[in-house]
Chains A and B, each alone.
Chain A
Amino acid sequence: MKFDTPATTNPIDQLKVVGKPTDRIDGPLKTTGKATYAYEWHDVAPNVAYGWVIGSGIAKGRIASMDLEAARKAPGVVAIVTAENAGSLDKGKRNTATLLGGPEIEHYQQAVALVVAETFEQARTAAGLVRIDYTPADGAYDLAAAKDKAEKTKDGDSVVGDFAGAFAAAPVKLDETYTTPDESHAMMEPHATIAAWEGDRLTVWTSNQMIDWMVTDLSATLKMPKDKVRVISPFIGGGFGGKLFLRADALLAALGAREAGRPVKVGLSRPLMMNNTTHRPATIQRVRIGATPDGTITAIAHEGWSGNLPGGSEETATDQTRLLYAGANRLIGNRIATLDLPEGNAMRAPGEASGMMALEVAMDEMAEKLGMDPVEFRIRNDTQTDPADPNRPFSQRQLVQCLRLGAERFGWAKRNPQPGQVRDGRWLVGLGVASAFRNNLLTKSAARVRLDQRGIVTVETDMTDIGTGSYTIIAQTAAEMMGVGLDKVAVRLGDSSFPVSAGSGGQWGANNATAGVYAACVKLREAVAQKLGVNSADARFEDGQVIAGNRKVPLAEAAGADGLSAEDGIEYGDLDKKYQQSTFGAHYVEAAVDAATGEIRVRRMLAVCAAGRILNPKSARSQVIGAMTMGVGAALMEELALDKRTGFFVNHDLAGYEVPVHADIPHQEVIFLDETDPISSPMKAKGVGELGLCGVGAAVANAVHNATGLRVREYPITLDKFLDRLPAMG
């Protein structure tokens, strides 16, 4: 189905099932332990051997020698895979560093060997016996030091009007630099894969967000035809972008299984993950804003620097600034430096998550300079069209409504605009606000839908559910389209033998995957109508029946003994060129700062989101509160501590890399505006999973400033960065 004109009324608009806060249909499987995760496929891959990955002990250089003797002789060892015996390998399109390194080493903990043994313990013990000598080489590890050598990215700068002239002439100006650190996805389930060969066919049971990318890159790396690789990943214990790609677990499990001649299982240990896999790269961001005294922005510039391995991509931290606020003169662009750190890549809301942490603090600082309320300053600079192209409207843009409703619900009027004034016992208390913004990405997505003789509708698509609720919204979509209850719908996901979907990433999963299911259901409805000899436009699908004229036929009967099946997908025209499609919101935070120690504790948070139709308010809310929690982490504690001498992330476990715990997150509220966006898809939906993160960190930072009068422009905002600026102890 080609979607190239705005949606009109369609069966989804009935909202009998879609739009309801349904419990997740896969919930009972998970709470009873029956959902099978990557490392748990005991039955389908019997006689499995266990692989333990050895990571490089240096960040850059060469392996001088590798002594495998002792390991080979260790009890239970079945095989050892290294670059020497792995055969000729290519590199997947989406991988920057090779997944099996050696002799050349590109980053710390790059996998250099897999030890396969009868048991997990034997594999790990034998791995400890492998002796590797390295010849280290000098590398570049420090973004600040490499910044001057950074280059403009291929997208180039976005230049509108004359920024330099307008900024120079602006009566009120801000020019500040902000930094965000390297961050780890730190999802609950580590990367894990079981691989099994049958002749020249390979099956991997894994944990991956993008099944087709995985199939493509795994087959490319192994130099084998794509249709000989099957990837199965129905349940995923979190990803946040860390599982978008083929990673070492899957490649090495495949190589290990080939070498061992039997299935091999590989999980990455947490200490390995943080340097072996991808991370959100650190940024340095300079923001300049010029305005007239009434708060009208006349000039805005946002430049961002990040680093990556050669060939890696940049963190697009400045991109939202192209679209978020008005201003006639603009200069926006990203620059990239070469760093020999582990590969930087997408983490939840890549670009905007980091970019909004800078831009939205700059807006707060600018409002303060102007003597304006930060909510009003943002509203003053709203734009309903792409600031670079007045002929390109936003498909929907309710930023102002989000800000206003949030201010009302949060009690913003009670905020003391003078910082450092509100005291509650030991605590200095402040309120902060930030806009939320994340683009809506359209990408094609397909599904297969079957109707059987029992009237059961089965949906199959390679879409993934990374804990987000995909199973449930897909079931809701199919139920709505086919006029059945959720109990008559079965959803099967995460298998490369199913039609290729959008996958999970970039908050595009919900809208695109359900739109693909919608398309397949339209086709199935046609098939049903045709079989009954009625015109599908005249047929209503309700209560498990097809109603056409005065005929009422149960779906089960219409399906007949052989059932009916349809496959289709959604494909998009150029509506995203004609219209800018984005999601909007407002984040409000109350934070308290211990006047003595500088410890920061968030007290309450509110997010108001305008993101098209909310397909399931319950799972959408879960997405947003999870994202808000991640935003608190980014603001206050998450940082991969870099050893700039040797080029690795030092705090590589969950004791050293702190993410928020329950005690950090006392009270969260989420409001969704009642919105539909017919430009987006037949579902009229968008995504919320990343919107919920974008801006949170800045709202926390702004609340800390309101509480203390202090600005910290280097995230995370930890007490060591401002302790000496707190008021003296009485």
Chain B
Amino acid sequence: MRPFTYERADSPAAAAAAVERRPGAKFIAGGTNLLDLMKLEIETPAHLIDVNGLKLDTVEATPDGGLRIGALVRNTALAADQRVRRDYGVLSRALLAGASGQLRNKATTAGNLLQRTRCPYFYDTNQPCNKRQPGSGCAAIGGYSRPLAVVGSSDACIATHPSDMAVAMRALDATVETVRADGTTRKIPIAEFHRLPGDTPHIETALVPGELITAVTLPKPVGGTHVYRKVRDRASYAFALVSVAAVVQRDGSGRVAVGGVAHKPWRVEAAEGEMPRGAKAVTSGLLADAKPTHDNAFKLTLVERTLASVLAEAKG
């Protein structure tokens, strides 16, 4: 770990300005991802701005009937929120499928969206990794790629985004609200928030340096049956091989987002029209351009079978 300095910010705009002022500065929220990466020198910020005191830790109703989730709301609190449990069940279930109780007590909404990949080569600083060290190459391609991406990947990077929460938010059409150093704010649809790796896998989101997430908003509830199914090698405390977040209406229409398959939560709206026709039809649209490796081709079958099971469950 590299030595670093530390300060507490007292307003969102001041926090953003503080990061912009110091090259190599980063926000720290729950620290459950950032600190681990700092210990391994995968992240080497010279300065940390603690955002825990910014009072961005409430969940509030929005005028249009949705919810505004503060960036610092803990995963445990969000999963337990009555409105989330009632109207956005897929989000509550996705949160509870992630990490462990202790981690969820610390993990924040913004931190969860920004957690970095679990590609094992990213975690080993002896190995080339374009995400960790741009231009160094990608050790995962041609190596051990079982957990990695099958769709939307590039010749530079085949990593996945590991979040469960983000997959549910993608299905719910969430919006990420931010503030920049100059005090301007913007709203980024979650579909545009995470990026595909392309040839710059180190640039993972639409955020610009210093831009602080203040909240995530959910549009008004869409009803339907909410299912989150996470498939993994052990029963708990493991990242998804694949996961499916689905909101299914009575007539069989609905929405599906998939985790564990791409550099971002994966959703193809055009494929959702096929939902009444079943999992196979949806999956062929959802994973149309898939380029799996030998090790992870099973994920294509797994997505389809898991989705079939989810749709059967939603039907009841």
* Chain A residues close to B by CB (< 8 Å): 57-58, 75, 121, 124-125, 128, 271, 426, 594-599, 601, 636-637, 641-643, 645-646, 650-653, 655-656, 658, 660-664, 716, 718-720, 723-724, 726, 729-730
Per-residue 0/1 for B23-67: is the Cβ within 8 Å of any A Cβ (1 yes, 0 no)? 000000000000000011100000000000000000000000000
A652 touching B124 in the complex, CB below 8 Å, given contacts A128-B41, A641-B144, A720-B146: yes
Q: How far is the CA of A58 from the CA of B298 in the complex (A)?
A: 31
Q: Are B239 and A596 in contact (CB under 8 A)?
A: no
A596 touching B41 in the complex, CB below 8 Å, given contacts A121-B1, A642-B144, A661-B234: no
Q: Are B144 and A596 in contact (CB under 8 A)?
A: no
B308 to chain A, nearest CB (A): 4
Per-residue 0/1 for B98-120: is the Cβ within 8 Å of any A Cβ (1 yes, 0 no)? 00000000000000000000101
Q: Are B233 and A661 in contact (CB under 8 A)?
A: no
Contact-residue size bin, chain B (C-beta under 8 Å from the other chain): 35 or more
Given A75-B3, A598-B305, A650-B144; 4 other pairs, CB 8 A cutoff:
A271-B40, A597-B229, A637-B233, A729-B304
A727 to chain B, nearest CB (A): 10
Which residues of chain A come closer than 8 Å to B40, judged between CB atoms? Answer: 271
Q: Are A664 and B234 in contact (CB under 8 A)?
A: yes
Q: Are B144 and A655 in contact (CB under 8 A)?
A: no
Name the CB-closest residue of A to B298: A720
Q: Are A650 and B298 in contact (CB under 8 A)?
A: no
Q: How far is the CA of A128 from the CA of B1 in the complex (A)?
A: 8
Q: Are A660 and B124 in contact (CB under 8 A)?
A: no
Which residues of chain B come closer than 8 Å to A650, judged between CB atoms? Answer: 120-121, 124, 143-144
B130 to chain A, nearest CB (A): 17
Which residues of chain B come closer than 8 Å to A594, judged between CB atoms? Answer: 309
Q: Are A664 and B144 in contact (CB under 8 A)?
A: no
B161 to chain A, nearest CB (A): 15
Q: Are A641 and B146 in contact (CB under 8 A)?
A: yes
A291 to chain B, nearest CB (A): 35
A658 touching B238 in the complex, CB below 8 Å, given contacts A128-B41, A651-B144: yes
Which among B229, B236, B279 is the interface contact of A729 at CB below 8 angstroms?
Answer: B279
Q: Are A128 and B231 in contact (CB under 8 A)?
A: no
Q: How far is the CA of A75 from the CA of B23 in the complex (A)?
A: 23
Which residues of chain A come closer than 8 Å to B239, judged between CB atoms? Answer: 655
Question: What are 27 A-to-B residue pairs whose CB atoms are below 8 Å?
Answer: A58-B126, A128-B1, A128-B2, A128-B41, A271-B40, A596-B305, A596-B306, A596-B309, A597-B309, A598-B302, A599-B233, A637-B233, A646-B127, A650-B143, A658-B234, A661-B236, A664-B234, A664-B236, A716-B233, A719-B233, A720-B241, A720-B296, A720-B298, A723-B298, A723-B305, A726-B305, A729-B309
Q: Are A57 and B126 in contact (CB under 8 A)?
A: yes
Which among B2, B143, B233, B309 is the interface contact of A645 at CB below 8 angstroms?
Answer: B143
Contact of B232 with A by CB under 8 A? yes
Which residues of chain B come closer than 8 Å to A724, judged between CB atoms? Answer: 298, 301
Name the CB-closest residue of B to A660: B234
Contact of B270 with A by CB under 8 A? no
Which residues of chain A come closer than 8 Å to B235, judged between CB atoms? Answer: 601, 661, 663-664
Q: How far is the CA of A597 from the CA of B298 in the complex (A)?
A: 11
Q: Are A599 and B279 in contact (CB under 8 A)?
A: no
Which residues of chain A come closer than 8 Å to B298, judged between CB atoms? Answer: 719-720, 723-724
Per-residue 0/1 for B249-267: is the Cβ within 8 Å of any A Cβ (1 yes, 0 no)? 0000000000000000000
Name the CB-closest residue of B to A109: B126
Which residues of chain B come closer than 8 Å to A595, judged between CB atoms? Answer: 309
Q: Are B302 and A723 in contact (CB under 8 A)?
A: yes
Q: Are A729 and B120 in contact (CB under 8 A)?
A: no
Q: Are A636 and B234 in contact (CB under 8 A)?
A: yes
Which residues of chain A come closer than 8 Å to B3, judged between CB atoms? Answer: 75, 121, 125
Q: How far is the CA of A595 from the CA of B305 in the complex (A)?
A: 9
A636 touching B233 in the complex, CB below 8 Å, given contacts A125-B3, A596-B309, A724-B298: yes
Q: How far is the CA of A637 from the CA of B39 in the complex (A)?
A: 27
Per-residue 0/1 for B122-163: is the Cβ within 8 Å of any A Cβ (1 yes, 0 no)? 011011000000000001001110100000000000000000
Q: Are A597 and B1 in contact (CB under 8 A)?
A: no
A656 touching B120 in the complex, CB below 8 Å, given contacts A599-B231, A719-B302, A724-B301: yes
Q: How far is the CA of A271 from the CA of B127 in the complex (A)?
A: 14
Name the CB-closest residue of A to B3: A125
Q: How far is the CA of A141 from the CA of B113 in the complex (A)?
A: 38
Q: How far is the CA of A139 from the CA of B214 in the complex (A)?
A: 51
Q: How far is the CA of A271 from the CA of B125 in the complex (A)?
A: 11
Q: How far is the CA of A237 from the CA of B241 in the complex (A)?
A: 31
Which label, helix, strand, loop or mixed, suits the secondary structure of the A interface?
loop
Name the CB-closest residue of A to B229: A597
Which residues of chain B come closer than 8 Å to A660, judged between CB atoms? Answer: 234
A653 touching B123 in the complex, CB below 8 Å, given contacts A596-B308, A645-B142: yes
Q: How far is the CA of A597 from the CA of B299 in the complex (A)?
A: 10
Contact of B6 with A by CB under 8 A? no
Name the CB-closest residue of B to A724: B301
Q: How far is the CA of A652 from the CA of B298 in the complex (A)?
A: 23
Per-residue 0/1 for B203-239: is the Cβ within 8 Å of any A Cβ (1 yes, 0 no)? 0000000000000000000000000010111111111
Q: How far is the CA of A111 from the CA of B41 in the complex (A)?
A: 19
Q: Are A637 and B301 in contact (CB under 8 A)?
A: no
B180 to chain A, nearest CB (A): 32
Q: How far is the CA of A719 from the CA of B143 in the complex (A)?
A: 20
Q: Are B237 and A597 in contact (CB under 8 A)?
A: no
Q: How far is the CA of A672 from the CA of B40 in the complex (A)?
A: 46
Which residues of chain B come closer than 8 Å to A730, judged between CB atoms? Answer: 312
Q: How far is the CA of A572 from the CA of B75 in the complex (A)?
A: 60
A718 touching B142 in the complex, CB below 8 Å, given contacts A271-B40, A650-B121, A651-B120: no
Which residues of chain B come closer than 8 Å to A716, judged between CB atoms? Answer: 233
Q: How far is the CA of A271 from the CA of B142 in the complex (A)?
A: 22
Most buried by A among B41, B232, B305: B305
Which residues of chain B come closer than 8 Å to A655, judged between CB atoms? Answer: 118, 239
A597 touching B231 in the complex, CB below 8 Å, given contacts A642-B144, A719-B298, A723-B305: yes
Q: Are B120 and A641 in contact (CB under 8 A)?
A: yes
Q: How far is the CA of A630 from the CA of B85 in the complex (A)?
A: 36
Which residues of chain B come closer than 8 Å to A645, judged between CB atoms? Answer: 142-143
Q: Are A643 and B143 in contact (CB under 8 A)?
A: yes
Name the CB-closest residue of A to B295: A720
Name the CB-closest residue of A to B237: A661
B167 to chain A, nearest CB (A): 16
Which residues of chain A come closer than 8 Å to B127, judged between CB atoms? Answer: 646
Name the CB-closest residue of A to B121: A650
Which residues of chain A come closer than 8 Å to B233, judged between CB atoms? Answer: 599, 636-637, 658, 716, 718-719
Which residues of chain B come closer than 8 Å to A641, judged between CB atoms? Answer: 120, 144, 146
Q: How far is the CA of A116 from the CA of B41 in the complex (A)?
A: 18
Q: How far is the CA of A148 from the CA of B172 in the complex (A)?
A: 55
Q: Are B232 and A599 in contact (CB under 8 A)?
A: yes
B50 to chain A, nearest CB (A): 19
Which residues of chain A come closer than 8 Å to B118, judged between CB atoms? Answer: 655-656
Name the CB-closest residue of B to A662: B236
Which residues of chain B come closer than 8 Å to A646, judged between CB atoms? Answer: 127, 139, 143
Q: How far is the CA of A399 from the CA of B39 in the complex (A)?
A: 51
Which residues of chain A come closer than 8 Å to B296, judged between CB atoms? Answer: 720
Q: Are B236 and A663 in contact (CB under 8 A)?
A: yes
Q: Are B236 and A125 in contact (CB under 8 A)?
A: no
Which residues of chain B come closer than 8 Å to A719, judged between CB atoms? Answer: 231, 233, 241, 298, 302
Q: Are A637 and B305 in contact (CB under 8 A)?
A: no
Most buried by B among A595, A650, A661, A719: A650
Most buried by A among B139, B231, B233, B306: B233
Q: How far is the CA of A729 from the CA of B305 in the complex (A)?
A: 7
B residues 283-316 with Cβ under 8 Å of A?
Answer: 296, 298, 301-302, 304-306, 308-309, 312
Which residues of chain B come closer than 8 Å to A598, judged between CB atoms? Answer: 302, 305
A426 touching B309 in the complex, CB below 8 Å, given contacts A271-B40, A597-B302, A652-B124: yes
B286 to chain A, nearest CB (A): 16
Q: How far is the CA of A637 from the CA of B279 in the complex (A)?
A: 28
Q: How far is the CA of A661 from the CA of B231 in the complex (A)?
A: 15
Q: How far is the CA of A220 from the CA of B305 in the complex (A)?
A: 59
Q: How far is the CA of A650 from the CA of B239 in the complex (A)?
A: 16
